[in-house]
Structure 1
Amino acid sequence: MEKMKEKLNWEETERGKLHNLVQELKGNICVFCRVRPLLGDEIQKYGSIQQLVISNESSLELGGDVEDLEQAGMIPKTIKQIFEVTGRLKEKGWEYTFQASFFEIYNEEIRDLLATKKNLKYEIKMTDSKGADMFVTNLKIETVTSELMIYNLMRRARKQRAVAETLCNERSSRSHSIFMLRITGTNSVTTESCCGILNLVYLAGSERIKESGSEGQRLTGAKAINKSLSNLGNVIMALAQKEPHVPYRNSKLTHLLQNCLDGNSKTLMFVNLNPKENSFNETFIVSDSEISVNYDHV
């Protein structure tokens, strides 16, 4: 019996290594496109468009009720799956702890969406000289033990998000938001341990300034958003072409996500599309030299 348990534990470890290898062979950075489902009054007004939906998932965090899986965004759906999987692994000796934080990058400044203290300075630092991990100074980190605790955390953070009305969107996101979850696991049977960080990033919308009617502070914010999105594209392009220098430090977003885009990390990017016909021109434009996708229409 003991030999059988040892064999099962060894096979479990090898399965994890092989799965990681397969993911690396597929590519560490993958891009998917999806059309979000209709929400609220849209269902009655644009009911026929529901047939166009190719995914039953909504936005990352600005979707419907987080406890309603039909309307919830990617964060609650991801969290639900994580707790389900870690729950099943208990019988194999694994115990996990979770630490969460939620913040945004607004006009190239980091703002803690869970902060209880004011006037704190937030800077991106490396944990060591090798840059093995990135962290944000003074960021509030909370230990969470259930899905409900994370849902409550999300509700608190949502109230602090930087949003503004434009001609294109009545609640246009004016910042990149990052939900960060540190997962630490230990196995009492095999004495193994693991630690990883999951970053779920909601990119701000790159609305066309002419059509959004942005002015003043909103115009400044729009320019900052477009610049950071361009820098993100430059970083991904440099990685794809295996260039010797990757411009991570050109923006707070790419600097913070450096370890998510490099090394053996895995990155999924979702291009979220609005299913309404009147959003088609803002969602998808094709010319001889350009394909443009608006990330804010989710």
Structure 2
Amino acid sequence: EAHAKIHALVEEKERWEAAALALREQQESSVACINKERVLAEEARRQCEQEREAQKMHARRLRRTLRDNASRFAESREALSSLKADMRAMQAECGKALSGMAEELAGGIAEVAMGPQRALEDAREKLEKEAVERRRLHNQVLELKGNIRVFCRVRPAGEGHKSSILVPSDDELVLTSAGKHNSFSYDKVFAPEATQEEVYNETQPLVVSCLDGYNVCVFAYGQTGSGKTHTMDMMNSRALGDLFRLSGERRAIADYSFKLTAIEIYNEVIKDLLEPNDANGKPKKLDVKTDSATGASSVPEVRYAPVCSVSDVEGLMQLARRNRHTSSTGMNEHSSRSHLILTVHVLRKDLVRDGTMFGKMNLIDLAGSERLSRTCAEGERLTEAKHINKSLSALGNCVSALVTKGKHVPYRDSKLTYLLQDSLGLDSKTLMFVCASPAEVDAG
């Protein structure tokens, strides 16, 4: 039993020693933590002291800066006040000086400005005189050649056919028929080998006249199949191309605008080929009107289509051709049975003299002239042929009266001549192409 007590006491002693050891270790750990905290606190204190000293130094620098800025601001304010005073004084002096200079320069500027203005006026006056003189000389040249001129163009003979026409010179044609030789004189004769360019070059001055404010009339006359449409198609494209090209070259002195009308005369009835029907879808009833003040003739109700280029005109011409009367005759399967009148209306606004001029170019593909005995025409075709030949005869009578300066020109004998009266007489320029077939069968 004593041994057991001793053993228990020994175990209890060991527990106490272990507990004491644990307490010592805990105490040592606590002391170490306290020492560490003390070191950190000391370090924090030193940092706070350093920051406080830095803030004190920064505050001292700020106070010095504020004192310096206040001093400089006071100096700047004084300088600004002085500058304002100087500026007011300078403004007063400049005002007085400028008033004097303005008075001196006013007269000088006015005098200097008059120089370019006078030069511009002189240049405009010179340009105006040159334009007027060019127009006068060009018109004089055409008048010397004749305001009414007649050209003859001979169509090439068909393959295997003998020609009955000889062209001994550029103004003479000899027709051989039934062993007889008949000579005819024209202003110009184009042989069968003449090119389209050669033919047009002789007519191009008429385009210039149209741009100068004159009325121009170009038409092709001849029997069916003699080459009228071939010639006029060439005239249409080239003349219209030159109208637009030359008007562009004159932009410095004139501004041009163009409108197109396309009219058919069939059996003495007028038809608008660009707009045949009225708003109700019925054919328009058209007639020629004459302006009593100017003598200008027109068909007011037709469509005047603005155009700016050859392509614009070509599109309208396709429409016009679709609406034109054609028929088969004994002379030609696609003989035109009506007169096609393509008119370009030109408005010229003069930029030099600030005036306006009006001109127009009539390009006319006449219906075919046929002898009734050869056309096999009857009924409606016979009526057409009679109207065609009557209007062509009226046109010939008007041209003859104008050439011989007759007292009376029978314009009202047909719708064609009535419409063209302001483009045939007075200062107008007229060119007739007599288109001739060289076939022996057509020579009789």
**Superposed pair shares fold, TM > 0.5:** yes
Fraction of identical pairs, as percent:
41
Displacement after TM superposition at 1:280 (Å): 4.2
1:105 Cα deviation (Å)? 0.6
Comparing 109-118 with 216-225, greater Cα deviation is found at 109-118
- What corresponds to 1:153 in structure 2? 316
1:244-263 alignment runs, 5 A limit: 244-263=407-426
1:56-67 to structure 2, matched below 5 A, reads 56=196, 62-63=229-230
**Distance (Å, rounded) in 2 between the aligned partners of 1:233 and 1:72:** 22
Residue matched to 2:133: 14
What is the RMSD of the two structures over their aligned residues, measured on CA atoms?
2.7
Give unmatched runs, 5+ long, in structure 1: 65-70, 286-298
Corresponding residue number in structure 2 for 1:101:
261
Q: Distance in 2 between matches of 1:261 and 1:255?
A: 10
Q: Pick from 176, 179, 199: which aligns with 2:339?
A: 176
Q: CA deviation at 1:131?
A: 4.8
CA distance in 2, matches of 1:31, 1:189: 36
Q: Secondary structure at the match of 2:247?
A: helix
Partner of 1:122: 286
Q: Does 1:271 align with 2:434?
A: yes
Distance 1:158 1:251 in 2: 23
SS of structure 2 residue aligned to 1:101: strand
Report the 3-state secondary structure (helix = DSSP H, G, I; strand = E; otherwise coil) of the residue aligned with 1:103.
Answer: strand
Q: Does 1:209 align with 2:372?
A: yes
For 1:116 and 1:124, the matched residues in 2 are separated by 16
Partner of 1:88: 249
Can you list the C-alpha shifts for 1:159-199, whole angstroms capped at 9, x where unaligned?
Answer: 11111111211110101110011101113234242211111
1:134 matches 2:297: yes
Max Rg structure:
2
Find the counterpart in structure 1 of residue 325 from structure 2.
Answer: 162
Q: CA deviation at 1:37?
A: 7.0
Tell me: CA distance 1:11–1:243, structure 2 relative to 1, closer, same or farther (3 Å): same
Instruction: Indicate if the aligned counterparts of 1:37 and 1:56 stay in contact, CA closer than 8 A.
Output: no
Distance 1:94 1:144, change over 3 A: same
1:193 paired residue number? 356
For 2:315, the aligned partner's letter is: N
Distance 2:152 2:242 in 1: 21
Taking structure 2 as the reference length, the TM-score comes to 0.55
| Matched ranges for 1:225-240 at <5 A | 225-240=388-403
Asked if structure 1 preserves the Cα contact closer than 8 Å seen for 2:241 and 2:309, the reply is no
For residue 340 of structure 2, give the secondary structure of its aligned residue in structure 1.
strand
- The 1:88–1:37 alpha-carbon spacing in structure 2 relative to 1, beyond 3 Å, is farther
Give the CA deviation at 1:268.
0.5
Indicate if the aligned counterparts of 1:98 and 1:182 stay in contact, CA closer than 8 A.
Answer: yes
Q: Distance in 2 between matches of 1:236 and 1:180?
A: 19
1:223 is matched with which residue? 386
Higher helix share: 2
SS in 2 for 1:52: coil
Kept in 1: contact 2:276–2:284 (CA 8 A): no
**For the Cα contact (< 8 Å) 2:196–2:234, is it kept in 1?**
no
Partners of 1:85 and 1:62 in 2: how far apart? 25
